[in-house]
Each structure stands twice: as C-alpha cells, then as structure tokens.
Amino acid sequence: MSAVTERTSLWGGRFAGGPAEALARLSVSVQFDWRLAPYDIAASRAHARVLATAGLLDPQELGRMLAALDDLEAACASGEFRPTVDDEDVHTALERGLLERLGALGGKLRAGRSRNDQVATDLRMYLRDHARGVAGRLVELADALVEQAERHVDTPAPGMTHVQHAQPVSFGHWLLAHVQPLLRDLDRLRDWDARAAISPLGSGALAGSSLPLDPAAVAHELGFTAPAPNSMDAVADRDFVAEFLFVTALVGVHLSRLGEEVVLWTSTEFGWVELDDAFATGSSIMPQKKNADIAELARGKSGRLVGGLVAVLTMLKGLPLTYDRDMQEDKEPAFDAVDTLQLLLPALAGMISTMTVRVDRLVAAAPVGFSLATEVADWLVRRGVPFRDAHEVTGRLVALCAARECELEDVSDDDLKTVSEHLDPSVREVLSVRSALAARTTPGSTGPGPVAEQLATVQNRLDSWREWAIETVVPR
C-alpha cells in the first residue's frame, strides 16, 4: 500500500487554509452515510470501466484499480478499513482508502464525476436494494395475517364502525382487511422502484462531462434502466427519497391501525385475543399485567415514519437548482425509515402468528348491540318494502328492544305486529349470525365463499411478491 501522509479532501485547492472546526463538524456526514460504502464502491467499479473505455485508464491501470476496489470493499466489510474523524463523508473516506492502496493512480478515478452525482447514485442504489428487504418483511407480516385468517374463515365477529357494533363479519375477513393495504404498499414499492431506476452517474456536478464517458453503460452495470435525461435534474432530484418516505410513512399508518386493533382486541373489555408470552411484556409494579407493547410501538413508530417524510419535504421546498447542501438532510430520514421497518415488521409478524384468538368470545360478541338489524331491513326489502321504510321499521324494532333491554330475537310475535304490519315471525330466519354471514355471497364480502376466494387471490399475489423481494438489482 502507498502511504498517504496528508489529510484527504475532495476540495480545497482554491482555499488558503482548512475549514474552521465548527464548519468541519457541521459538514461531516460520514457517521451516517458510511452505510453507502458498498454502493459507492460498486459505482466506482462501473466508473473505472467507463474511464478505461474512454482511454483515460490503460488496461493495466484498470486492472490495478479494480483490484484495489475489491480489496477496499473486503476491508470495509471486515471492519479493517473504517472512516476516521477527518473523513468528511463516505466519498472522502473511500478515496483515502483507494489512495492508500494505489497512490496517485487512485486520484484518476475522480475524473468525470462529482460527489453530487455520486451521492444521488449511491442513495438510489441503497434504497432500491433495501426496498426489497422491506418488501420481504411486509410479505412475512401478510403471511402471518393470512395464516390466522385461514383458521378463522368461519369465526363470527362483531364488525365495527365508529368502534360500535355494526354487522357480523368473519374474523378471517377482518384479518384479511389488514392484508389488503399491505398489498397496496407492496404495489407502491414496485411502482416507486420503476421511477427510482434512473442513474444520475455521469451528470457530474450539474452539467455532465466533457470527457467521452458512457452514462448508459454505467446505468446498465449498476442495475438501472437508463441514465438520467437531464444532468441538472439528476443531481437536484430527491423525489425518489420523498416518494420512498411517503410509501414507508403509509406503511407506518397501516401498521399503526393494526397495532391499535390488537391493543383493543387484547384488552379486558374485548378479550378477543391472547398474545403469546414471547411477544408481550409485563409491568414493573403490577404482576398481573400483560401488555401489547409491540402493537403500541407500531402506533408510536408510525409518527417517526411520518415525521421523516415531513422533514424531507420541508427541506426540499424552495431549493434552487441544482445541488444544495441542504440535501445532506435527505439520508438520515431514509436510513431511519428502513431501520425502523426492518425492526418493527418482524416483531409484528411474530406477534400475529403466535396470538391465540378467543373464538368463544368472538362468537358471543357477534350478535350483541343489535348487529343483525340490517338483516331485518334487507329481509323487508326482499318482501317488497322500500329500503327507506324498511330502515324506519327496523329502527323502531331496535328502539323497542333497547327500551326492554332485550335482543332482536327475544321480541314476541305480538310485538312484531305492533312495530309494523310488515313484520311477522318468519323474520326470525335471518336473526342468526351464521345466516347473516352465509347471505354475504357477493365478491369481496364477508361470507365464507368470498373470503375463501379472497384468501386464494391474496396467497397468489404474495407468492409473486416473494420473488420480487429477493431480486438482486445492485451488483455484488
């Protein structure tokens, strides 16, 4: 290795001295952008090959350059090479490592590129790579929900609106209602990936390069679909960060809704679900407590994910073209979103897959609160009563039951006649939860047939997502 005795810097030739300590401390980003190192090295390999094609590196120099990059990558992976307090960012640190291995030859790699197009490329590669990791974790959570739903296709539950009993539903249908937004999140990730698959490398600082480079070749090698069509936009664009953070924030919102429901389901008042001991916590003072902390953390961390989106959108608002140092603030929210979901999703999947559903409690709760009232109204409609009138008649029947503190099926035949001439004892045929569920036969509804169809469709879609989640888009 060639010794480098002076501090490595990617700028400073026109300055009489180094930066003030306060500026240096404010500018440093290597403490968080170091995770981009593998992507920066991959981009450096591609750039080195393009420089060689352009005649700016001879074959021997290219061979030495690629060997040094391989060695540097291994040293980074093992921890042998690490950034120092003097390294401003990941690019500075890696150039120092290359200069240590190649001496002056290492400096040739900087030709035709800038930190502006480097960091935009590295971050796209990182997020495209990790979006697939997030997708894999979303599939695991969806799988856990699907497995529980399969067990409870025929388990009745009191469906809610306004957190009030509304109509009976299948608990399997309810669980699958949490899978659908996860599938939309997965769709959004793939849609995002198509837009993020544009390579900024070759744009330089903002104007492209006068050197005979080949941005298309670089884009192809790095797993992108095409080079950026406008060099100014390429280095200024952080739409891909903001859009990624929107997707992760919406994932957080969906996880928060699931978490809130688990908190309710496991409460003493509901008692519908029992969490496995491995996925619950206790109290430091109350020995009887069993807390749904994972579900609560899902609610809490959604705020963190939404906050990252707001921070980046606010940072980007009003920035002039092209690159501005404000953009240093794009990476920490993006990294934090990835880390948060990689931590949270496996815990939620474990909690869901191991929870015990109290079928007896759900069955008992399903008809409570006059949840079969709509069945009465629909029964009247089938007998030719306009729904407006059927709604009024059923409302009067419910009012009678509420006054007497009885359920719909407890009303006498005489009381039925008193409420309306349209009501007779045959209405009792619809006053069961099982019949209410069986009557729901339209696509997407809560009857056993439609729920089974939904299960099959969801499982097929998840299988396709498993394949996408393990795709390799960034060269190793």
- Active-site residue list: 162, 283
Separation CA 345–CA 184 (nearest Å): 16
Q: How far is the CA of 445 from the CAs of 173, 435, 436, in angstroms?
A: 8, 14, 11
Longest Cα–Cα distance in the chain: 101
DSSP H helices, 79-111, are 90-102
Q: Which two tokens stand for residue 446?
A: 């809560």
Residue whose C-alpha is closest to residue 472's, from 19, 42, 5: 42
Neighbour-count burial for 216-235, b at 16+ CB within 10 Å, e otherwise? ebbbebbbbeebbeebbbbb
Helix (H, G, I), strand (E, B) or coil at 157: strand
Which residues lie closer than 8 Å to 122 by C-beta, 6 or more apart? 36, 39, 40, 43, 90
Concatenated DSSP letters of 36-70? GHHHHHHHHHHHHHHHHHTTSS-HHHHHHHHHHHH
Separation CA 248–CA 451 (nearest Å): 28
Separation CA 474–CA 469 (nearest Å): 13
Separation CA 416–CA 164 (nearest Å): 25
